[in-house]
Structure 1
Amino acid sequence: MILHGDGLLRIAVIGTGYVGLVSGACFSEFGFSVTCVDNDQAKIDLIQNGTMPIYEPGLEDLVARNVAASRLHFTTDLGTAVADADAVFIAVGTPTRRGDGHADLSFVYAVAREIAPHLDGYTVVVTKSTVPVGTGREVYDIVAQTNPQADFDVASNPEFLREGAAISDFMRPDRVVVGTMSERARTVIRALYRPLYLIETPIIFTELETSELIKYASNAFLAVKISYINQMADLCEAVGANVHDVAKGMGLDKRIGNKFLHPGPGYGGSCFPKDTLALVKTAEQYNIDIGIVDEVVSYNDKRKNAMAGRVKAALDGVVAGKVIAVLGLAFKPETDDMRDSPSVDIIRELVDAGAQIKTYDPKAMDEARHMLPDSVSYCASAGACINDADAVVIVTEWNEFRALTAAQFIAAMRGHVLVDLRNIYDGAQMRDAGLSYSSIGR
């Protein structure tokens, strides 16, 4: 470790996407000097001017506070940031690779090659990106081959950040997982996470491969729970049961727990879709059958596609020419993330069937414009969106949608169809008011 005058370790974070920006800001909140690096000058300029490239509650204030305290810095100068760092976090994207479903590690490996010549003194290179088993060893080999004189170790420190609650998840996590190559590297990581030791956060040290697999295994298990309760919801509809009561009865069993037992249109976002697929592909490489996860990947795709069918059925199959209001575009509330959101599949299919789509989302509409058909219109409020609609579809459970009443729907809509894919309303109240109301598993 470099002995700095202030006695604190210094951190460089490569990548200012969701993981990199949140992690960098939170480490600076711990008191460390953090430099976030990105090769996109326009993005760096925006952040330095106080404009966040993503929506995450509390992030703008957190960044501003630590920039003002001179603990958090942003630059395109990778060499200087890396040379001054005791730990370099790689936090670039690992999207699904086109053609074969594997995680695309080209950005991770490119960063490894780029940082190698600039390492100065003992440095821990940490993969914060979600990466398949074996990536850490490959990063080590790339750095060692590029700079044989480098004094370094590689560590794996996967993130477990929920979009919409990322800051609290970083500052008060359930656990921190770290895969390392040496006790020397563990000493650095322990110092970085010392503030969490003080609040008795479990910090698990493992081998590199184990740490990398923990991340994928965790996300895949949660995806299985989501798909399971969605299948139970379909069964509930068939037999006349209530999926929420089923979920409550299951969740009170401590072996099962009540998290991720909420029925809906299928999972989306930046993690579950690509991570479940990447895990399946890793298992295939090693000739291991993880059919449960493989089936979940297939089922979730089918479920998202099936949601438009529910809307069509609620309209008695007559969709062409209908004005359909879609409330919610992001894959979950408190984020603007549209990646693999069910809304994309639903809207595209309804547009193809001849529907006129109006939509509203508190945060995701700018992103949605790049992903949805040009014919979709965007409204300034939920009220404007449902006005004169033949049908309303709830796709994302933003809190402001929960406040809408049956009387408001009746007064504003031209038709009377309400398809609630998140079960946020009381079905009896909606039907008693004269709405044709349908939901999931009830």
Structure 2
Amino acid sequence: MNISIVGTGYVGLVTGVGLAEIGHHVTCIDINEEKIRKLKKGISPIYEPGIESLILKNISKERLDFTTSFDEGIRFADTIYLAVGTPTGIDGEIDMTSFDKASNEIVDSINGPTIIVIKSTVPVGTNNSLQKMMNERAQHKVTVVSNPEFLREGRALSDLFEGDRIIIGSEDKEAIKTMERINTPFDIPMVITSPKSAELIKYASNAFLATKISFINEIANLCDLVGADIQEVSFGMGLDKRIGSQFLQAGTGYGGSCFPKDTLGLLQIAKESGMKFQLLQEVIKTNSKQQKILVKKLLTKMDTINGKKIAILGVAFKPNTDDIREAPALRIIEELSNQGALVYAYDPIVEKSNKALPQNIRMVDMIEEALNQADAALIVTEWEEIKKLKAEDFKKWMKCPIIVDGRNCFDPNEMVQLGIYYQSIGRGGEKKSLVLK
């Protein structure tokens, strides 16, 4: 089928590449001329393992194209996917500016019967309001379908091709058949719901996972107080099939482009519906507190960090992505800088030129450079090359081997044996074998 994708951000680009890979002809539209110019050369604007090779492959097979023109991009489309950003403000208000602008561009360019697929994460009722607008303004029949995405950054391609389910929110039988025909090659179970249910499934799924993360982090904090080991507790819990082992890894809290945005968004949806979602309020509050826990642990050892060199290992909110939106590292760096620390940060993917990085840090190219003569090191992102560090490396490079491990990457016993002060998350508090001044 001929499919257009509006928006070449994380969701739009991965979706477009995936649909091209299973045989559809896909045209991706974006108003950013520089981005489109690079995409035509196979250069991805996002870091996602494997995506550039698929872009080049499908361009060469003439199944994938990119343009800044809505008229050109939609001219032959049977189906149009809306995959533009819908950010959430601090107050939880969902910003529909880009979505509404794209919708208006689409309605003026449609030249035949069309299905519009909402891939963006949108408030409940958006499908109905967009359908009403299309009924009033479109010159041809338009059917709006909700089709939320469930892509994890760093694993988006595997999620696309090996996902758990495809949600199709529609009550139009012909549109449902078309969506089934589009997605059948993925060989993933399809679930048909009402549009409003599809819209809420996305928010509810992410909010539930965020709740699971906040819960296990609170259990980890309790483990530190009572002397239990969160890794043993999580393992024992995860064996219960009703609970499962995923998202039971204690750490510095959730971040990224989805969980923070969608928990606030769902809270706002509930508020506008007259409901106080107290559980979700506590989840958000707990996560905010957890993002500061490494600094709190560090200050139990160091009376002051003013003028001290502190190494931050990992800046991205998770491995295999360069996304630092709402990353715990940003909150940690802010806390350290406010107390006068000299922050040296290392991340294998995040570029120094990233405009979202705090200005009061020094990004370095090598782990050794970050650790060299450091007074303390905080492990924030569990990149493989960070996890491969040896206790001896910290001992050799650092001025004072104080380690606060926010991802439980290392064996406390190895650290203790070398006389390293070591704290992690939920493994019984500090681990040390000598007093460091």
User: How far is the alpha carbon of 1:179 from its aligned partner?
Assistant: 0.2
Find the partner of 1:133 among 91, 102, 124: 124
Match of residue 154 from structure 1:
144
Match of residue 331 from structure 2:
345
Match of residue 49 from structure 1:
41
Counterpart mapping for 1:388-407 below 5 A: 388-407=373-392
Match of residue 9 from structure 2:
17
Deviations 1:145-191 (A, max 9, x none): 332x3211000100000100100100111110010130011111011
Give 1:113's aligned amino acid.
N
Is the CA contact 1:419–1:439 (under 8 Å) kept in the aligned structure 2?
yes
Find the partner of 1:384 among 369, 392, 403: 369
Identity, % of aligned positions: 43
DSSP 3-state at the match of 1:393: strand
Match of residue 113 from structure 2:
122
In terms of mean alpha carbon deviation, does 282-291 or 416-425 score higher?
282-291
Counting matched residue pairs gives 427
Match of residue 434 from structure 2:
none
Counterpart mapping for 1:269-284 below 5 A: 269-284=256-271
Match of residue 4 from structure 1:
none
In the alignment, does 2:423 pair up with 1:438?
Answer: yes
Is the CA contact 1:57–1:164 (under 8 Å) kept in the aligned structure 2?
yes
Find the partner of 1:247 among 222, 227, 234: 234
Match of residue 111 from structure 1:
102
Match of residue 298 from structure 1:
285
Find the partner of 2:351 among 338, 350, 365: 365
User: How far is the alpha carbon of 1:371 from its aligned partner?
Assistant: 2.8
Give 1:323's aligned amino acid.
K
Give 1:129's aligned amino acid.
S
Is the CA contact 1:113–1:143 (under 8 Å) kept in the aligned structure 2?
no
In the alignment, does 2:73 pair up with 1:85?
Answer: no
Find the partner of 2:212 among 213, 221, 225: 225
Give 1:184's aligned amino acid.
E
Is the CA contact 1:113–1:142 (under 8 Å) kept in the aligned structure 2?
no
Is the CA contact 1:158–1:212 (under 8 Å) kept in the aligned structure 2?
yes
DSSP 3-state at the match of 2:292: helix
DSSP 3-state at the match of 2:336: helix
How many Å separate the matches in 2 of 1:215 and 1:86?
A: 25
In the alignment, does 2:303 pair up with 1:313?
Answer: no
Give 2:144's aligned amino acid.
V
Is the CA contact 1:347–1:372 (under 8 Å) kept in the aligned structure 2?
no
Find the partner of 1:175 among 156, 159, 165: 165
In terms of mean alpha carbon deviation, does 346-355 or 298-307 score higher?
298-307
Find the partner of 1:354 among 322, 326, 340: 340
User: How far is the alpha carbon of 1:118 from its aligned partner?
Assistant: 1.6
How many Å separate the matches in 1 of 2:119 and 2:319?
A: 24
Change (3 A) 1:317 1:144: farther
Is the CA contact 1:113–1:146 (under 8 Å) kept in the aligned structure 2?
no
Q: Structure 1: which 5+ runs fail to align?
A: 1-8
How many Å separate the matches in 1 of 2:348 and 2:211?
A: 29
DSSP 3-state at the match of 1:365: coil
Deviations 1:364-395 (A, max 9, x none): 1346x423332311111112211111111100
How many Å separate the matches in 1 of 2:133 and 2:352?
A: 38
DSSP 3-state at the match of 2:143: strand
How many Å separate the matches in 2 of 1:103 and 1:419?
A: 36
Deviations 1:386-441 (A, max 9, x none): 11111111000001111100111111111110110000000111111111000000
Is the CA contact 1:329–1:365 (under 8 Å) kept in the aligned structure 2?
no
Deviations 1:98-140 (A, max 9, x none): 5x31211121111111101221222110110111101111111
DSSP 3-state at the match of 1:193: helix
Deviations 1:290-341 (A, max 9, x none): 2111210122112213332222223x22100110110000000000000000
Structure 1 stretches of 4+ with a deviation exceeding 3 A read: none
How many Å separate the matches in 1 of 2:375 and 2:239?
A: 40
User: How far is the alpha carbon of 1:52 from its aligned partner?
Assistant: 1.2
Aligned-residue CA RMSD (Å): 1.2
Give 1:261's aligned amino acid.
L
Deviations 1:197-231 (A, max 9, x none): xx3x2100111000000011100000000000000
Is the CA contact 1:308–1:347 (under 8 Å) kept in the aligned structure 2?
no
User: How far is the alpha carbon of 1:97 from its aligned partner?
Assistant: 3.1
User: How far is the alpha carbon of 1:86 from its aligned partner?
Assistant: 0.8
Give 2:254's aligned amino acid.
Y
TM-score calculated relative to the size of structure 1: 0.94
Deviations 1:65-92 (A, max 9, x none): 1011110000011112213111100000
How many Å separate the matches in 1 of 2:243 and 2:17?
A: 34
DSSP 3-state at the match of 1:419: strand
Match of residue 433 from structure 2:
none
Give 2:146's aligned amino acid.
S
Match of residue 93 from structure 2:
102
